Chain A
Amino acid sequence: MAMDVIDYEIFGAEMQFVEVELDPGEAAIGEAGAMMYMQDNIQMDTVFGDGSQQTGGFMGKLLGAGKRLLTGESLFTTVFHNEGSSKRRVAFAAPYPGKIVPIQLTDIGGTLICQKDSFLCAAKGVSLGIAFQKKIGTGLFGGEGFIMQKLDGDGMAFIHAGGTLHEKVLAPGETIRVDTGCVVAFQPSVDFDIKYVGKIKSAIFGGEGLFFATLSGPGKVWLQSLPLSRLANRIIMSAPAAGGRSADQSSLLGAGVLGGILGSSDD
């Protein structure tokens, strides 16, 4: 599987897009609908599956495409191919406020487990697989569900998540507790588990839910500060059309404080 080496540049601060430079003959795959613009001579080709298998027959392709459906993506992937004789650029935009993180898969051992739907684009040849969370408890309460995405290959991949995306390095044996829903991606050497918050009082009034997600090293993990569901929740809560409060936060101190105390948890 020959990977294409791609150069890239990320633009923007909170609502980013990534511009990928393709040498003649190189190609990148993008999530359907993620393309923002492209230069002349870049051919768009929609393929069934993730475009990584050169062969494998119809059934293989069908299986791959079915897996993509499970991770919440479309059946088809779009391959952007530079047919020209000079370097050309294509850009992919993030679908909601957040950060785009480039990950060189070779640097982390070739495999990355990530949140479903977080894939943005990659060099052609990176395969988009599915990784079932086999720990029942983690699947139920870990905030990421039972289905995660697995990126395999030795090229560059771009993932995207809400808020600020932070890369953390865990030393052997080091563990961090993370709010559920904030885990975006991790190396397969990282142990992803859940832990009860510890006290009934905290579980009920702490606002963090019953469980934390725990990540144990060694390896790299990527965390997001604002999961999309949380952002959406806040927007709906304050949208008058959806029955939320339209009052400005600073209009009445009492209402604001009371709302803050009595208002339900955001996730």
Chain B
Amino acid sequence: MTDSVFTGRLFGPGIAGAGVAAGATWELTGGIRITPLDPGIGILNAEQPSVTSGGFNAGGLRIAWQNGDASWVFIVDAGEEQARCKATAPSQISEQFNGITREQNRLERRFKTGGALLSFVILLPLVLIALFLVNRDRIASWVIQRIPVAHEVRLGDMVLAQSRLQMKILDSGPDVDAIRNIGKRLTTGSAHTYRWFVAERSDLNAFAAPGGVVVVFRGLLNSVASSEELAGVLAHEVAHAELRHSLQGMVKNLGLRAAVSMAFGDFSDSVFTDGATRLTELRFSRDAEREADAEGLRLLVAARISPEGMLRFYERLASEKRGSPPALLSTHPASGERLDWLRNEVTKFSGPWQPLQVDPGKGTN
């Protein structure tokens, strides 16, 4: 019968406070027989012991019984001893074990829930930050959509004012009129009020500032061979403005905070000046250029202007100045890929095209 002995500690009257080690066996009648290791304490028999959980974390099995006024407790050792105690228990007792198991499971479950909750609370900010970083671009574009046009115009004015310090910019004249005529056809129905300017610089360049400010450099005006070519460049710049690429670039440079303050009111002048300064030195990403090409092409076709001009201008730029690409393409080289794409796209559209009446570049020079 040694298989059915389980060990533990016995506590009771006349026994030292910390208890003594003892072995125990169940009787078939539901009683228990305790044999202390110390022979000085006699064998004990209990007729009707009760079994409860107890001790630290309620992890122990506590077998208790009364003998007259004296209460005795036998605490079963952890691990295997407890398992053997449960396995060998007679049917009268084993019912009591179910309650204990339930209680221990409940404690365990609560502890795990609490732990999970705690780790959740600790991890939540980290998860939120990670989500924010992953969705940064999406959040940025959402915010940009909410910047009012009026603010965009203000930003554009500042960019223009800063550009005026660096170069001479014409507001009127035959060239500006010519550009405006083409531009009007491209920007029909736009939310922006476009303003067109010519800069007296020999660089082959043009730029679009927020709020519908488009500046074309004299060097570019001189190099275009036809109105359709100029329309192609204008369409590309208008597309940048319509797609709010400069604002996106600003968000990347200044951070989301500036864009949020512009979108939701709490802005100061310094936000705008800061933004304008960054915009003058802004370079668009390749993705933005590709988008602007596609959108520009769409604008051209919608205005019934032949997209051939855009293609020809790009081709000429790519072939002419291979050594030092013009400023218009320097930051976003007209790679073969981009040209091929444009060539392919242009063939998808067919006329009839409405010819442009104006003759750019032949005005003042």
Q: Is there contact, CB below 8 Å, between A219 and B57?
A: no
Q: Is there contact, CB below 8 Å, between B17 and A192?
A: no
Q: Is there contact, CB below 8 Å, between B18 and A131?
A: no
| A: interface residue count bin | 20 to 34
Which A residue sits closest to B10, measured CB to CB? A218
Contact of A189 among B13, B16, B75 (CB under 8 A): B75
Q: Is there contact, CB below 8 Å, between A108 and B18?
A: yes
In order of increasing CB-CB distance, the 7 nearest A-B pairs are A169-B17, A218-B11, A172-B73, A134-B111, A108-B18, A189-B75, A134-B57
Q: How far is A186 from B71 in the complex, measured between Cα atoms in Å?
A: 20
B60 at the interface (CB under 8 A from A): yes
Contact of B11 among A107, A139, A171, A192 (CB under 8 A): A171
Which B residue sits closest to A113, measured CB to CB? B56
B19 at the interface (CB under 8 A from A): yes
Contacts of B59 in A (CB 8 A): 188
Q: With A188-B60, A191-B56 given, is the CB distance from A134 to B18 under 8 Å?
A: no
**B interface vs A, CB < 8 Å?**
9, 11-13, 16-19, 21, 54-60, 62, 64, 71-73, 75, 77-78, 107-108, 110-111, 114
Q: How far is A133 from B59 in the complex, measured between Cα atoms in Å?
A: 11
Q: Is there contact, CB below 8 Å, between B114 and A189?
A: no
Q: How far is A189 from B59 in the complex, measured between Cα atoms in Å?
A: 9
Which B residue sits closest to A109, measured CB to CB? B9
Q: How far is A189 from B10 in the complex, measured between Cα atoms in Å?
A: 10
Q: Is there contact, CB below 8 Å, between B18 and A172?
A: no
Q: With A136-B110, A136-B111 given, is the CB distance from A191 to B11 under 8 Å?
A: no
Q: Is there contact, CB below 8 Å, between A191 and B19?
A: no
A190 at the interface (CB under 8 A from B): yes
Q: Is there contact, CB below 8 Å, between B107 and A134?
A: yes
A15-68 residues at the B interface, CB under 8 angstroms: none
Q: How far is A132 from B57 in the complex, measured between Cα atoms in Å?
A: 8
Q: How far is A139 from B110 in the complex, measured between Cα atoms in Å?
A: 12
**A interface vs B, CB < 8 Å?**
107-109, 113, 131-136, 139, 169-173, 186-192, 216-220
A-B CB contact pairs (8 Å), 9 listed: A171-B11, A172-B11, A187-B18, A188-B55, A188-B59, A189-B75, A191-B55, A191-B58, A192-B56
Contact of B71 among A136, A172, A190, A216 (CB under 8 A): A172
Q: With A107-B18, A172-B71, A219-B18 given, is the CB distance from A190 to B56 under 8 Å?
A: yes
CB distance from A141 to the nearest CB of B (A): 13
Q: Is there contact, CB below 8 Å, between B107 and A109?
A: no
Q: How far is A134 from B113 in the complex, measured between Cα atoms in Å?
A: 11
Would you call the interface of chain B mostly helix, strand, loop, or mixed?
A: mixed
Q: How far is A128 from B25 in the complex, measured between Cα atoms in Å?
A: 32
- Give the A-B contact count at a CB cut-off of 8 A: 82
Q: How far is A133 from B60 in the complex, measured between Cα atoms in Å?
A: 14
Which A residue sits closest to B104, measured CB to CB? A134
Which A residue sits closest to B57, measured CB to CB? A134
Q: How far is A171 from B18 in the complex, measured between Cα atoms in Å?
A: 9
Contacts of A219 in B (CB 8 A): 11, 17-19, 55
Contact of A173 among B55, B57, B71, B114 (CB under 8 A): B71
Which A residue sits closest to B53, measured CB to CB? A191
Q: With A191-B54, A218-B11, A219-B18 given, is the CB distance from A134 to B108 under 8 Å?
A: yes
Contacts of A190 in B (CB 8 A): 55-56
Contacts of A109 in B (CB 8 A): 9, 18-19, 21, 77
Q: Is there contact, CB below 8 Å, between A172 and B111?
A: no
Contacts of B18 in A (CB 8 A): 107-109, 169, 187, 219-220
Contacts of B71 in A (CB 8 A): 171-173
Q: How far is A131 from B59 in the complex, measured between Cα atoms in Å?
A: 12
Which B residue sits closest to A216, measured CB to CB? B54
CB distance from B35 to the nearest CB of A (A): 17
Q: Is there contact, CB below 8 Å, between A132 and B56?
A: no
Contact of A135 among B12, B54, B57, B75 (CB under 8 A): B57
CB distance from B17 to the nearest CB of A (A): 3
Q: Is there contact, CB below 8 Å, between B55 and A189?
A: yes
Q: How far is A136 from B112 in the complex, measured between Cα atoms in Å?
A: 10
Contacts of A134 in B (CB 8 A): 57, 107-108, 110-111
Q: With A107-B18, A218-B19, A220-B18 given, is the CB distance from A186 to B56 under 8 Å?
A: yes
Q: Is there contact, CB below 8 Å, between A136 and B114?
A: yes
Q: How far is A190 from B58 in the complex, measured between Cα atoms in Å?
A: 9
Further 19 A-B residue pairs, CB within 8 A, beyond A170-B17, A172-B64, A191-B54:
A109-B21, A132-B111, A134-B108, A134-B111, A135-B57, A136-B111, A169-B18, A171-B13, A172-B11, A188-B59, A189-B9, A189-B73, A190-B56, A191-B55, A218-B19, A218-B73, A219-B17, A219-B18, A220-B18
Q: How far is A108 from B78 in the complex, measured between Cα atoms in Å?
A: 14
Contacts of B60 in A (CB 8 A): 188-189
Q: How far is A216 from B58 in the complex, measured between Cα atoms in Å?
A: 11
Contact of B54 among A132, A186, A189 (CB under 8 A): A189
Which A residue sits closest to B118, measured CB to CB? A146
Contacts of A131 in B (CB 8 A): 56-57
Q: How far is A188 from B77 in the complex, measured between Cα atoms in Å?
A: 10
Q: How far is A190 from B77 in the complex, measured between Cα atoms in Å?
A: 13
Q: Is there contact, CB below 8 Å, between B72 and A172?
A: yes
Q: How far is A219 from B110 in the complex, measured between Cα atoms in Å?
A: 26
CB distance from B113 to the nearest CB of A (A): 9
Q: How far is A113 from B78 in the complex, measured between Cα atoms in Å?
A: 14
Q: With A172-B12, A189-B11 given, is the CB distance from A220 to B17 under 8 Å?
A: yes
Contacts of B9 in A (CB 8 A): 109, 189
Q: How far is A34 from B13 in the complex, measured between Cα atoms in Å?
A: 40
Most buried by A among B17, B60, B62, B72: B17
CB distance from B111 to the nearest CB of A (A): 4
Q: How far is A191 from B61 in the complex, measured between Cα atoms in Å?
A: 12
Contacts of A132 in B (CB 8 A): 57, 111
Contacts of B17 in A (CB 8 A): 169-170, 219-220
